[in-house]
Every structure is written in structure tokens, then in C-alpha cells.
Amino acid sequence: MAEFLYFTGPMDCGKSTLALQLDYTHTAGGRLGRLFTSQDRAGEATISSRLGLVRPAIEVTRGFDFWDYVVGQLTGGERVDYLICDETQFYASVQVDQLARIVDELQIDVMAVGILTDFQTRLFPASQRLVELADKIELLQVRALCWCGERATHNARTVDGVMVLEGEQVLVGDTTAVGEPVALVAYEVLCRMHHRRRVTRAVARATLSDPLPFERDDEELSPLDR
């Protein structure tokens, strides 16, 4: 039986890397599939990983119909064994229903990868629909870390470096690493407590007397800590 799988986690936990790894594994096993994405940070019709992996994919616009596309491929003599869908938080709910129909009626595996909640800690509509319809939901095992060292579970949006809790649900940006300039619109992963308190890395750096856990120099560490 075909399966409808949903892999989810916050930003910076390797979701796009997993999508590309899944495609590689299935291709190596002799299967033929299709890659889909929406609003990837690297540009249209692209799946990109922060590790530097990049693959072309089919861009999912609001009017894209998965059912019509797959049926068209099959009736045209093409082989489709699976679909890998990245950035699914940006899909429309009806498109998730189309994916479920493909699994049930065409017996084609669908592996969906995306973020569960937005910067306000609310479910994306498509993510909610995936939770409702997927055969299995898996949290990614790679743990993104908050600046404090705890597991990051929430996505924070910053505008000019200031965390915001109002605005459009979908506003494409990227996370920034330590030492990188902060973009106009950027995202940062935080633990629940620091998201609730709105304490981003920049706020912590400005208000705490001790260096942040990930910003200590080697000379400040004891030999046992190194």
C-alpha cells in the first residue's frame, strides 16, 4: 500500500536536506519520482539545503493541481513511483487533499516535508491538513538549537533585528548564522520560553553579561570543556 508521510520540524533542522536524501535513496533503489517545492529561499523551482545541496524541482503555485499533473504524466506514458514535496507549509489545503487522493487512488507514495507552525506559533493551514490526513507524522531527529542551547521548537520572525508577532503569515526569509548581518526580514529558531519572552540572540547578547553558549572563545573554556 502506498503511504502518505509527513516530516516536520522548525527551521534549521534539515528538512530540505531530508527531502533530497529521500529522493536520492528512492532513485538509488530504481524508483522514479518527482520533486516539488514552493518559495524556496534559493529561488523558484529549486530545493536547496543549507549544506549546499541544490536540485531542480517543480514549483507549486496556488493554482497548481497535483492530481491533474500526475494523471497527465501517467496517461502520457510516464512513470511516477513517488512524490517528494518540500516547503509544504506554503501549499494550499486543497493541494494536500489532492496529494491524499493520489496516495489512495493511484497508489503513489507521497513524502511531504515542511514547517508545522508559523512565527506566531499558529499552524499553517496546509500543515494542519497534513496532520489531519497523513498516514504517519515524523518529527525530524536533527535538533535545531536556541541561542541558549536548549532545543529550538519555535520560529521567530525579526524585522530589522527586532522580533515581531504581527504581519502576514507567509513572508519568505531565511535564518542567519552567528556573525552574519541581519537581513531586513529574517528568522531565528528559539525554544518556547525565549520565543514567549521575545528574547532573540541579539537581545540576549545585548542584555546578558556572560557570552552566549555558542559564542565563547576557546581560551575561555577549560580543557575539560573543549
Distance from chain centroid for Cα 194 = 21
The last residue of one of the domains, among 78, 107, 139, is: 139
Q: What's the CATH code of the domain at 174? A: 3.30.60
Distance between CA atoms of residues 156 and 153, nearest Å: 10
Q: What is the mean predicted confidence (pLDDT) over 209-225?
A: 52
87 is catalytic: yes
C-alpha cell at 59: 514549483
Given the residues 44, 78, 87, 132, the one annotated as active site: 87
- 200 lies in the same domain as 109: no
- One-letter amino acid identity for 82? Y
Tell me the residue range of the domain where 74 lies: 4-139
Q: What's the CATH code of the domain at 42? A: 3.40.50.300
Residues near 214 by beta carbon (within 8 Å), at least 6 away in sequence: 145, 147, 149, 178
The last residue of one of the domains, among 118, 139, 160, is: 139
Q: For the segment 87-121, what is each residue's pLDDT rounded down to a tens digit?
A: 999 999 999 999 999 999 999 999 999 999 999 99
Q: For the segment 166-208, what is each residue's pLDDT rounded down to a tens digit?
A: 888 877 655 565 555 555 888 999 999 999 999 999 899 888 7
Residue 59 has pLDDT above 90, yes or no: yes
- The answer to whether 4 touches 133, Cβ cutoff 8 Å, is yes
Distance from chain centroid for Cα 10 = 6
- Computed over its alpha carbons, how large is the radius of gyration of the chain? 19
Q: How many domains does the chain have?
A: 2
> Within 10 Å of residue 45's Cβ, how many Cβ atoms?
16
